Amino acid sequence: MQRRQLFKRYFARLGGWLTLGSIGILPRLIIAFASVAALAATANLIVEKGVAILEEQRHVARERSALDAQQIVALRESMDRARSAAMSADVLGALGEFDRAAQDHADSDSRSSAVRYAKARVALDRAIEKFLDGTRTTGSQLPRLIAAHKGHADKLVQTRRIRRELLSRYAALLTAMDLRVRTSIEQVLKSTSRGTAREALLDVRTQLDTVRAAFAARSAFDSRELDTGPLAAAERGLSAKLRERETALRRSSGADWFHAMSGDAQALTTTRVELFRNEERRMAAIDAFADEPRQVAALLPARVPEVMPESRPHALSASMATTAAPDRSLVAWVSAVVLLVLLYLCFATILSIVRPVRRLLAATHRLARGENARVVPTGGIRELDTLTAAFNSMSEQLAAARDSARDAQLRLEAKVEERTRQLQELAEQDPLTGIANAGNCSARSTRRWPRHASRASASACSSWTSTTSRRSTTAWAIPTATAC
């Protein structure tokens, strides 16, 4: 039982908390108005943000239009440059084909390579002419640079041809000298006097092999940096050996042989010097031939300019999106909280008003039926609690007034009954004599003997009155006299 009462008490307390207890209507209205004000502020914030977003969008639109105008101008310029780039691509393609044909012709030096080289040269001239006509450029360095490039290509082909000729000549000289020495050695071996002459020829052959080895080395004429020192030293050694063994060689092989060997040795030196000079010209032509295409590419608009990036509008739209997302979430949260607060206030206010009003109405009906009104329990808004307390006080006062009125009525009824009885007694008999009155006697006889009332009413009443009067007088007089 105690647990049940405790549970009821806790439940009533929880209900009081849920219905905001005895908070008055004014604080509730203040809370409601504050919630509505928060919602209005949120709506104002939404409107302001919307206006700011619209202004920002207008600003972005203006910037975008300006950027679009710039891009249109840049696009027009880029279209012209694209045409130039297309023509420059043709020029570069023709230039590359010309370079490949020049290298091929310089390497092979054949009829087919010469035909291909000539065709590539004509195609390059046509591409340059088309580019100059399309771009309407005058006084450009491009024609002079292309002419110099073609000149260096011709020089490269020529130096390669001369190089092959000089190398062939040098190799032929070495072969002729080696064949001559071998022939002399074979002749000396067949003759009887072969000691000193054979030794001299073998020494010459050894020096000739040294020259051939130095000539066959890659560093002589095939490397980037020319190093003809070993070959020159071998040639000087061969010449010195010929001069040293001149007597023996003249005696064994003859003066003509010695003059031929000396002339070939001198021709080797001359050919080597010509090769060195030709290699210098060839290297210079190769360097110029390799550098000029880069210069031509630098003069040509080979790349189409890119369109201006839309960095700022995208940044602005991204910033608007990032700022709009928190604003939307804030508005959603504030609206949800305000809605929950208003719903809770409505629910609590309805419960705080309806329940006390129903209790007051029930107590009023009981009071109107005349029942004793029980004490109306409090619970609700503060104003209704005050009204309930006033109603309870009024009902208590009404109950007290009703009890006092009932007591007064009972006393009045008792007095009225007593007075009625006394008046009845006075009406029935004389207070002095105790004798019944004639009117009262006639009434009695009429009630008791209705049949004989008309005949004997007068006589009976008169006799009974006289008798009764005598008895009553006697009964009254005796005690009175005794008292006296």
pTM: 0.46
Bridge partners of 429, per DSSP, are 436
Of the candidates 215, 233, 236, the residue with the CA atom closest to the CA atom of residue 168: 215
CA–CA dist 100, 43 (Å, integer) = 76
Q: If DSSP states are collapsed to H, E and C, what string results for 417-477?
A: HHHHHHHHHHHHECCCCCCECHHHHHHHHHHHCCCCHHHHHHHHHHHHHHHHHHHHHHHHH
Q: Identify the pLDDT of residue 30.
A: 76
> Whose CA is closest to 160, among 94, 221, 231?
221
Report residue 229 as tokens.
């020192």
Average pLDDT over residues 92-111: 88
Contact (CB, 8 A) for 267 and 141:
no
Q: Do 367 and 395 meet the contact criterion of CB atoms below 8 Å apart?
A: yes
Cross-strand partners of 436:
429
Q: Reduce the DSSP state of residue 370 to 3 states and report it.
A: coil
Q: What is the pLDDT of residue 341?
A: 77
Across the chain, mean pLDDT equals 75
How far is C-alpha 198 from the geometric centre of its chain's CA atoms? Answer: 97
Higher pLDDT, 225 or 361: 361
Segment 212-229, tens digit of pLDDT:
888 887 555 665 556 678
Q: What is the band of 51 on the pLDDT scale with cuts at 50, 70, 90?
A: confident
- Confidence category of residue 438, pLDDT binned at 50, 70, 90: low
Q: What phi, psi does 436 have (nearest 5°)?
A: -65, 150
Length reported for the chain: 484
pLDDT of 433 over the 80 cut: no
Tens-digit pLDDT profile for residues 22-48: 666 667 677 777 777 777 777 777 777
**Taking Cα atoms as reference points, which of 463, 474, 482 lies closest to residue 434?**
474
Cα angle value 155/131/92 (rounded, 5°)? 50
- Quote the pLDDT of residue 367: 75
Tokens of 312: 């700022």
C-alpha distance from residue 246 to each of 193, 254, 319 (Å): 17, 10, 99
Rounded CA-CA distance 293/251 in Å is: 62
Lowest mean pLDDT among 117-131, 320-334, 378-392, 393-407: 320-334
Write out the DSSP string of 102-143. HHHHHHH--HHHHHHHHHHHHHHHHHHHHHHHHHT--S-SHH
- Measure the CA–CA gap between 45 and 324, rounded to whole angstroms: 12
- pLDDT, residue 477, reads 40
Q: Which CATH class is domain 146-299?
A: mainly alpha
387 within 8 A of 370, measured Cβ to Cβ: no
- Measured at the CA of 232, the angle between CA 229 and CA 237, to 5 degrees, comes to 125
Element (H, E) at 300: none
Write out pLDDT tens, residues 297-340: 888 765 544 444 444 445 545 555 555 556 667 667 777 787 78
Residues 117-174: pLDDT tens digits?
999 999 989 988 888 887 766 557 888 888 898 999 999 899 889 988 988 998 999 9
Distance CA 40, CA 46 (A): 10
Summarised one tens digit per residue, pLDDT across range 237-288 is 888 988 888 888 888 888 898 899 899 989 989 998 898 888 888 888 888 8
Angle, vertex CA 334, rays to CA 330 and CA 335, nearest 5: 115
Check residue 122 and give its pLDDT. Answer: 92
The DSSP secondary structure of 313-332, one letter per residue, reads HHHHHHHHHHHHHHHHHHHH
pLDDT at 470: 45
- Taken in order 90, 96, 102, 107, the sign of the CA dihedral is negative
CA 398, chain centre distance (Å): 75
* Cα 165 to Cα 170: distance, rounded to the nearest angstrom: 9
Q: Which residue has the tokens 């003069």?
A: 299
Determine the pLDDT at residue 18.
Answer: 57
pLDDT digit string, tens, across residues 445-483: 455 545 444 444 444 444 444 444 444 444 444 444 344
Mutual orientation of helices 311-368 and 25-108 as an angle, nearest 10°?
Answer: 160
> In the prediction, which pLDDT does 15 show?
58
Q: Which 3 state secondary structure label does DSSP give 281?
A: helix
Nearest Cα to 268, choosing from 299, 242, 300?
242
Between 201 and 316, the higher pLDDT residue? 201
Instruction: Give me the pLDDT at residue 234, please.
Output: 87
CA dihedral of 443, 448, 453, 455, whole degrees rounded to 10? -130
Q: According to the model, what pLDDT value does residue 116 have? A: 92
CA–CA separation, 176 and 169 (whole Å) = 10
Kindly report the backbone phi and psi dihedral angles of residue 84, in degrees, each rounded to the nearest multiple of 5, phi listed first. Answer: -65, -40
Q: Which of 115-124, 147-156, 196-205, 345-354 has the lowest mean pLDDT?
A: 345-354
Please report the pLDDT score of residue 8 as a whole number.
Answer: 66
- With CA atoms as reference, report the closest residue to 137 among 84, 92, 188, 89: 84
Q: Which residue has the tokens 């009204």?
A: 387
Domain ranges of the chain: 72-137, 146-299, 342-416, 429-484
Query: What CA–CA distance (Å, rounded) separates 212 from 171?
Result: 8
For 429, phi then psi, to 5°, come to: -145, 160
